[in-house]
Amino acid sequence: MGNTPLFKINRVFSHPAVDIYAKLEWMQLGGSVKTRPAFNIIENALDSGELTEDKILLDASSGNTAISYAAIGAALGLRVTICLPENASKERIRILRAHGAELVFTSMFGGTDEAQQVAKELVSQYPEKYYYADQYNNPNNWKAHYKYTAEEIIRQTDGAITHLVVGLGTSGTAMGLGKRLKEFNPEIQLVTLQPDVALHNLEGWKHMETALVPGIYQPEIADESLEIDSEEALRLVKDIALKEGLMVSPSSAANLVGAIKVAQQINSGTIVTVFPDSSEKYSEVLKTIFE
């Protein structure tokens, strides 16, 4: 877990005085950025005694955190139950079941907001049965990035990072990285990204104006917030494959859309963004892009 590589964007965007780097977060157990908070949440729950071998770890997730919980749970012998929207990709459902997770499907129209409500109802009915990880409100979510991911980025850029550009879902990545990087250098700019509409194709992202806002989200930390068109992100998935040799997810491409927007506003700098996961779990989406 962790210690993922930093990849320099060379051909999708090029500027003599502006560098864009992407953290390839699928290169770890569980295959996504969510492994970091999932492990930190589990580790702290085990240490505190909130999670024991008699309890089942329960949480709501659109897929990536769920897979990380399930993979870590399988390795540690922990039982995992996930509430997730019924329109989660077939690949994610297959992986979750392979790791032995129990799935509770919720309405596709309610998204992860409804999945959270169902999880809360379950833990309210059976408090002795479940440990509710509550990734949207658990400070150990953002602390994983504060303690580890940020230190990797500082080291990998030799402290030269000037801008962090990252999308908002649970907001843990942006909050943890933003807090630590600004401690390292208050001049570092945090730019957060959101979909430009409530109904979008960026799985894992939240349109904060219309969504159930995570308790860990602190909008005042960001220096700027940009809206991203999900169709523009889908088009960039193809360009990244053709020009950079990486098969990335729509949310990864959306992060790069945001990073390029920032790069076009500045004369010089080192921009870091995150590629949360690869295209591995998005075959249906990829059909529409590459056909």
Q: What is the pLDDT of residues 50-102, one digit of tens each?
A: 999 899 999 999 789 999 999 999 999 999 999 999 988 888 899 999 999 99
Q: Which phi and psi (to 5°) does residue 208 adopt?
A: -60, -30
pTM for this structure? 0.94
Give the three-state DSSP class for 182.
helix
Q: Rounded to whole angstroms, how far apart are CA atoms 238 and 240?
A: 5
Q: Does domain 35-132 have CATH number 3.40.50.300?
A: no
User: What's the fold here for domain 6-32+139-290?
Assistant: Rossmann fold (3.40.50)
Which H/E stretch holds residue 104? strand 102-106
Give domain limits for the chain.
6-32+139-290, 35-132
- The end-to-end CA distance of the chain, in Å, is 34
pLDDT tens readout for residues 257-271: 999 999 999 999 999
| pLDDT tens-digit readout, 190-249 | 999 999 998 788 888 989 999 889 999 999 999 999 999 999 999 999 999 999 999 999
Count CB atoms within 10 A of the CB of residue 34: 30
Q: Fold identical between 6-32+139-290 and 35-132?
A: yes
CA 188, distance to chain mean position in Å, is 21
